[in-house]
Each structure stands twice: as C-alpha cells, then as structure tokens.
Structure 1
Amino acid sequence: MKKRKIVLSFIISFILVNNSFANDMKSLDTVTVTAQKMEENIQDVPVSLTVFDEFAIEDRNIKSVKDIAQYTPNFTIFNPGDWGTVAPSIRGLYSDVAMTSSTVSMYIDGVPTQSTMGYDAVLEDIERIEVLKGPQGTLYGKNAEAGAINIITKKPNNETKGKIGLEFGSDNKKAYTFNASGAIIKDKFYVGVSGKLYEKDGYMTNKYLNTDHNNRKSKYGKVNLRYTPTDNLDISFISSKHKRDDGALSVNKATAQNLKEVNNDVSDFAKLESTAHSLKIDYNFGQYNLSSVTAYKKDHDLRFADYDYSTVKSYHSLMDVTYENLSQEVKLNSQTDTLTWLAGIYADKSESKGGTTVDSIYPSMRARGNQNTTEDSSLGLFSHANYKINDKLSILGGLRYDIDEKSLTDKKTNTKLDMSYSEISPKLAFN
C-alpha cells in the first residue's frame, strides 16, 4: 500500500511539472529572424541557426564578432598574432587568413564582408545577431560555403533613449561606449548614434628599444538615419567608421625563453581602418514587399613586422593593402498562409590592391616583395519559396545562378590573369 502511494505521488508530481512547463512554453515570445532574407518566425526556418537578441547580446557582453564565437557551437574565429585580420570557421571549414577570402559571409545592415580583412567588427547598438550554419549559397551566393552571419542594428524610433558604458580591467584596459537615439520629427525622421573608445596595454616589451610592444587602441563611430514619409515606406542610411591600432604581432621566436620580451631593432605596428555605408529602402504594398540595399565598404590594412626578432635587419615586412566593395541587392517577397516566396538580384564589384614589401640586408630576401591588384565582378539571380502542405509539413526550395569574373594583375612579373565562373546552386528541404 505504501509503495502504491509513493508511485501515485510521483505520477501526480510528474503531471503537474509537465503542465507547468507546457504553460511556460506557451508564454514564450515569438522570435522573428531574417535568415532567409525575409521576416519569419524562427520555428519556421529549416536552417541550423543560433540567434542572439538584444538582451542576450547584453547579458553575454558581446562587443565584437570574436565574442559571438564564444557562445555559438561549431563557430570559431582564428586570429593569428591577435591582429585585425581573422579567419572565421563554421563546422571546421575555413579559408586561411592569408588568402583574404572568407568561407563565412557576414552582413552588417546589408553591408557584405566577404574578406578576412575587417571581419572582426565592433558591435554597438545591435538588435539581433543570426549565425546560419552550413552552406548558404542559394540565398547568399559566394563566400557562404560554411555559413553566413546577419547583424542588424536597432532602428531608431519615437522613443528617446541612450546608454553610456564604462569598462576597466587589467593591463590598464579602458573602454568607453555610448549610444543614443530618438525622433527629430515625430513619426517621420529619426536618428541614432553610437561609439566606442578602447585601449589596453600589451603584455610584451621591446627590450632593445625599451618600449611597449603590443599595446591596443581603437575608435569606432556609427550614425543611423531613418526616414518614414508614409506607413508603407521605410528608408535607412547607416554609416560607420572603425580605426584600430593593434600594435605589434603577439608572437615571439619559437626558441624564446621569455615570451613577454623581444629585441627588435624597429617597432612593429598593425593599423586597420574600415568604413561602411548602407542605404536600405523597404516599400510595402499589400501582401508584397520590395526591398533595396546599396552598400559600400572599404578596408585599409597597414602593418609592419620585424620577423627576424633581432637587432639585425634580415627580414622586415611591410604590408599595405586596400580593399573596396560596392554592392546592390533588390528583392521582392510575399507571404500568405500557405506560400512564402522571394526573388531577387545581387551585383557587386570589388577591388583589392597592394601587397607586401620585404626589406633586408640580403638581396635575395628583398626579392620576395610583391604588389598585386585583384578585381572581381559578380551577378547573382536567386529565388526561394516555402509551401505549407498541411499544418505539420512544408516543403522549401531555392535556386540561384551566379556569374563571377576575376582578374589578377601582378606588377612584379607584369602579368595579368582573367577568369570567369558560373554556377547554379539549388536547395531542397522539408520541414
């Protein structure tokens, strides 16, 4: 009898706990994402997806792309030497940082980052971060073999608000952040601004020059202008600039006994300047939505390293590379109870110029310098549809056609190479 009472009590407790859990589940808010280039409930997106809303971003103190990787399974950031150029990896697939081309496309307010240069961006006043895992070529095209990252800035509105942040830490670390937004003309014109100042002493010293070796400094600012002349039209212009000085490469000779000291005859430096602009226009008419994103991004990477780690000028390397990208995307989408579809066109043009110059007392070492110019033009046509067969089953399909033209000019050998590619990327999924 006693055993029956125990079993009965356990069953009743189990039922009560499950009912309570079910009630809590029903009260969860709907999470809206734009992983498939349109607003959808995250539960309806058949993609391996990690999402951070503004509360998760603040709770986890996510301030850069490197911070995202710490809280995202199967996502890693390789940062050799702790400099601004990084190599993102999802599920173990990545491109070497020296190749500059990334396997994980990142879009900040529609501005594409497809290079390892300027990838470790500052994240301030962010509404949502979406990390898509697995090939995303059908919707995102090139440089999305491993995945894609969407980062969306908060939209300023009629509410006037602001925030100031102060952060202090070891090695004389200091970080100052701020953001503010509100309406200039109620219900029509809004503005948002944000910024960050950061500095930190390095942990290495140059004993030969008696100077600090790898101090860090950075400045960041962003302006967000939004105009809503009618209920159906939403226009946003976002402009940002990031200047960072990462000091010297945080490595030493493999045989060094003291990893906090070097004896270089010159001071190393690594300076990266990134500028980004995006103009987004959304127009809604009935059940259709027309969207246009015009984006421009420029990265200038200037760095000098004494790779011989000695007082002899045997291998001094100066890298000076500038990368520019101009892109345009236009898409039309519609959503009904049974069918969701999207069609669009994407075009971009990019140029990378510069290279590495090696200075040395040995003539054979100086000959390793190079100066290249790479130009890339691409055009992509894409479509995507999700048909709901019944309450439990839906089928999703997509198709993309890309044309990519590349040219490489090698000034050292006075040669030019031209290549063109075309590819069809299909997708089929059941949910």
Structure 2
Amino acid sequence: MNHSHSALNRALLLTLPMLALPVVTSAQNLPESAICSAVAELPAVTVTADKTERPLEKVAASVAVIDGLELEQSQVTGMEQLEGRIPGLSFQPFGQAGLNAPVMRGLTANFNTFSTSTLLLVDSVPVHTAQGFEDAMLDVDRIEVLRGPQSTLYGRNAEAGVIAIHSLPMDNTPRARVSADIGSRNKRGLRFSLSRPLVEDTLYVSISGSWLKQDGFITNTYTGGKADDRERGNLKLGLRWTPSAATDAVLRYARQDYDDGAALWGAPAAAREHIASGTNSWNRSKGQSLALDASHAFSSGLRLRSITAWSDFTDDIQQDTDFMPADITHIRRDHRLRMFSQEFRLEGQLGAADWLAGVYADHNDTDLHNVGRRMMRVEDLRADQKSRTLAVFTHWNLPFSDAWSLSAGARLERSKIEIAPQGTARKDLDWTHFSPKLALQYQFSPEHQWYVSASRGIRTGGFNALSAASDYAAFEPEKKLVLRNRL
C-alpha cells in the first residue's frame, strides 16, 4: 500500500507542471489589467469571538481561526491535532480517547477536578470538563480559538481561553462528501457528510459521521494478542428551520462512541510496545449532546437569541497499571457527567454602538465511581456531585471615530457546588464572581490594528471528589487578570 501511494504521488508531481503550463502560457499573453482582475481576493474572515459577527481584524482580542477546508486537507480529526496549529495550545497526554485536558498558555487543570481552564464550545454546547473534551471535526466551517481570559462573555472555566467549533451552515446549497482511510495495522476508516434543503428557503437537514478501526501496536506477551485495538464512531445530525427572514432555529444532535483496548501507556520497566498484563483493560466511553439555537429579529432592530444545550458523557474505563500477569494494581472509572444549560441574550444598536445583554444558567449532575486496586487493598469511591450557575452579562462596542473604538463588558456569576460521598456527610460551597473586560482599539489600516485590553478569567472551585483520604478537600476558584497590549 505504501509503495502504490509513493508511485501515485510521484506521478502527480510530474503531471502538475504540465497541467499548469498552459495556464502560465495563457497568462503571459494577457494584459496586466486582465491578470490583476483575475486574481481572486481572499474572503474576509468573520468571527463571533464577542458573540457578535464581526471581521477578525476588528476584534480586540487574540483570536486564531482555522478554516474547515484546512482541517480537511490536513486530515485533522481530533482535538489533539490542533497542537502545533494554534500557538500556545497543547493537551496533557493521557492516552485515552475522549479525554483531553487543554493547556492554554501554560494554564491547565487536573482532569480529576472535573473542570478545565479552557472552555470548549461545539455548536453552542459548552464542555467544562476534560471528559468529553473532543470532537471528530465533521463538516466544520471554522474553529475560533480565543487566547486569554474570556469569562466576561463565556463565564466560568474560560480562565485561559475558549475553543469554539462551528459546523457548516445548512442552506439552499446541497453538498456531499465521502472519504475512506486505509493504513497500517489493518486501519479502516470512513467519513461522510451530507447537507441539503428539504424545503427551499425554509427547511434544511444535514448528517455527518465517521468510523475508525485499527489494530493495536502494544503486544500483550501474557495473552498473546494486541492490548490496544481501537474502534470509534461519531455521528452528527442537524435540522434548520427558517419560517421567515426574521426567524432562524437550528437543532443539532451529536454522538461519540469509543470501544478501545488499553490506554496508550507503557510498562515502567519494559519497552512501551510490550506488556505482560493479565488484567483486562478497555475504554468504553460514550457521549451525546443536543442543542437548540433559535433567534428572532424584531422590526425595532433588536434580536433575541436563545441557546438551549444538553450533554451526557460516560467515562467508562479500566486500565492495568502494573502490566503484570497477576492483578496487583489497576484503576477503574465509571463516571457519568450530565449538564443542561440555557442562555438568553438580547442584541441591538444604540446610535453607532452595538450591544448585547444576557442571562445564563446551567445545572450539572455528576455520578462518580472510582476504583483503585493497590496490592491487596481496594479503594471504591462513590459520590454524587452537583453544581448550579446563574449569571448576567453585557458587552458593548463603542466607536469614537473611524479609527478609535472601545469595548467594555461585565459579568456577574453565582456558582454553587455540592458533593455527597457515599458514607460521608454532604458538603457544599458557593462563590460569586465579577468578571470585567475593557479594550481600547486603534484601527490604523483596514487590515491592522493596535489594542490594549484588561480582562479577568475565572475557573470555578470544587472538591477533590476522588480522595477520601483528604476528606474530599475543597479547592478555591482560580482568578486570572491579564493586561494585554498588541499590535
């Protein structure tokens, strides 16, 4: 298979110059004005970093954008592959699919805290934990990465930044795409996407999915087989309804399933590709989400938007940790994390200024079950953890002139978390956070700007839910204030 790919690549490389030659020859015979007019201008990049559609160069924030076409051409199919493409972004290595703890500009959080310092938004569905911090990059329009504190608009766990994944819009343009992947270790994969109107100008539908299966590379010398086979599937469904030019409603459902063998860990005293494990290891995690994003524009110029999101992720793994034939030490997790969130916001203009104001609430319900075996001792921890958040926020963009503008915003957020460990008294804590933001911007050319900003980020506090030895000790929220000057 590799030899055939190399031959094909060489043939394409030899053919491309011949295909380009007639184009170059024709261009040489054209007048300069015709050549200039034939050069296509790059389309303007529009982002929603401040929850309002705005050209990238007019946003007073550090925003990196990756186009969906670039993701497809680079064969990016997971979050970890964003490393190296986004400066300052990396992920803690765990070797477990579906679990990614982001590190943004050095800020991160232990995955056992069930919170992250960087917020993930997938089509308006918030992900606040390392568990479920993943996406298969199906039918993506763009990824916006906001670096630096973003809690004013995005609330808790946007202490270091936000990663927002936007799917391609459903409209009157039908599209279809299918690709297959074959590789070493019996790798087989399939990706597809389809979108089309059911009723032109009114009702649209989309479906996309992926499936991947591959044999492992870690040999279990005790059982004689591979320990880390991989199989996973992803599905996304979309439905859009536009009954009028003023009303738009988008319903999206997403699902991810993992059926993997052992995590990609190596034995401490042996080569990584060989273990001798008598304890079965697996990752059978799964997740699903549902989001309804609806908006209506009133004749007065105001726009009301409602975003309702629900997610459910099960972190189901067992992993040998000594890689010995006898079951001496292993870990077992069976966590279920459920979240419901609701946001309402009103957008409008006041003279030359545009503004938005909103209210946000969410409820998290987490069932925790963690088993740790060490020699003859087995620690079996069970706990229920719940949290609630309520916030009000606003954001304004105030132009002083054609070149100078000011962005200002504030968020007041109330969070409460409680834990009920099995056999131990219930505990609860609550906090109130104020997250302001102020940015002064000077647009000295259409494509370039200078800005100075001050913003505050918050990562919520909680309990050490997996440590009975510490009596489930609490940890306080993290707060980060950043002053930034950028040209």
Give me the TM-score of the superposition, normalised by structure 2.
Answer: 0.80
C-alpha contact 1:86 1:119 (8 A) present in aligned 2: yes
Partner Cα distance (2:321, 2:266) in 1:
9
More off after superposition, 24-33 vs 301-310: 24-33
What are the ranges of 5 or more consecutive residues in structure 1 without an aligned counterpart? 1-21
**1:272 maps to which of 285, 292, 298:** 285
Matches within 5 A, 1:330-409: 330-335=344-349, 338-359=352-373, 362=376, 365-366=377-378, 368-409=379-420
In structure 2, the residue corresponding to 1:66 is in which secondary structure?
A: helix
Partner Cα distance (1:358, 1:80) in 2:
17
Tell me which of the two structures has the higher relative contact order, counting C-alpha pairs closer than 8 angstroms and 6 or more residues apart.
Answer: 2
Matches within 5 A, 1:294-313: 294-313=308-327
What are the ranges of 5 or more consecutive residues in structure 2 without an aligned counterpart? 1-35, 442-487
Matches within 5 A, 1:198-217: 198-217=212-231
Corresponding position of 1:64: 78
User: Which segments of structure 1 move beyond 6 Å, counting only runs of 4 or more?
Assistant: 22-26
In structure 1, the residue corresponding to 2:51 is in which secondary structure?
A: coil
Partner Cα distance (1:55, 1:317) in 2:
40
**2:149 maps to which of 129, 135, 143:** 135
Listed one character per residue, the Cα deviations across residues 43-65 of structure 1 (whole Å, up to 9, x for unaligned) are: 11111000112222223222222
Q: Is 1:260 equivalent to 2:270 in the alignment? A: no
Partner Cα distance (1:199, 1:128) in 2:
27
Corresponding position of 2:343: 329
Partner Cα distance (1:186, 1:35) in 2:
30
C-alpha contact 2:368 2:385 (8 A) present in aligned 1: no
C-alpha contact 1:84 1:246 (8 A) present in aligned 2: no
Decide whether aligned partners of structure 1 residues 357 and 202 sit closer, same or farther in structure 2, where only a CA change above 3 A counts: same
More off after superposition, 390-399 vs 168-177: 168-177
**2:263 maps to which of 249, 258, 263:** 249
Partner Cα distance (1:121, 1:58) in 2:
14
C-alpha contact 2:330 2:374 (8 A) present in aligned 1: yes
Decide whether aligned partners of structure 1 residues 55 and 81 sit closer, same or farther in structure 2, where only a CA change above 3 A counts: closer
Partner Cα distance (2:38, 2:269) in 1:
58
Corresponding position of 2:435: 425
Amino acid paired to 1:387 = L
Corresponding position of 2:10: none
Partner Cα distance (1:168, 1:309) in 2:
31
**1:285 maps to which of 288, 298, 315:** 298
Amino acid paired to 2:289 = A
Decide whether aligned partners of structure 1 residues 24 and 297 sit closer, same or farther in structure 2, where only a CA change above 3 A counts: farther
**2:133 maps to which of 115, 119, 128:** 119
Partner Cα distance (1:253, 1:144) in 2:
36
Decide whether aligned partners of structure 1 residues 56 and 338 sit closer, same or farther in structure 2, where only a CA change above 3 A counts: farther
Decide whether aligned partners of structure 1 residues 378 and 24 sit closer, same or farther in structure 2, where only a CA change above 3 A counts: farther
**1:48 maps to which of 62, 65, 75:** 62
More off after superposition, 398-407 vs 262-271: 262-271
Partner Cα distance (2:94, 2:374) in 1:
24
In structure 2, the residue corresponding to 1:81 is in which secondary structure?
A: coil
Matches within 5 A, 1:13-92: 27-92=41-106
Q: Is 1:174 equivalent to 2:188 in the alignment? A: yes
Partner Cα distance (1:222, 1:83) in 2:
18
Corresponding position of 2:165: 151
Compute the RMSD of aligned alpha carbons.
1.9
Corresponding position of 1:12: none
Amino acid paired to 1:398 = G
Instruction: Give 1:306 deviation, angstroms.
Output: 1.6
In structure 2, the residue corresponding to 1:138 is in which secondary structure?
A: helix
Partner Cα distance (1:279, 1:188) in 2:
17
Give me the TM-score of the superposition, normalised by structure 1.
Answer: 0.90
Instruction: Give 1:206 deviation, angstroms.
Output: 1.1
Q: Is 1:238 equivalent to 2:252 in the alignment? A: yes
Partner Cα distance (1:246, 1:78) in 2:
19
Equivalent pairs: percent with the same residue?
Answer: 28
C-alpha contact 1:209 1:266 (8 A) present in aligned 2: no
Decide whether aligned partners of structure 1 residues 270 and 338 sit closer, same or farther in structure 2, where only a CA change above 3 A counts: same
In structure 2, the residue corresponding to 1:396 is in which secondary structure?
A: strand
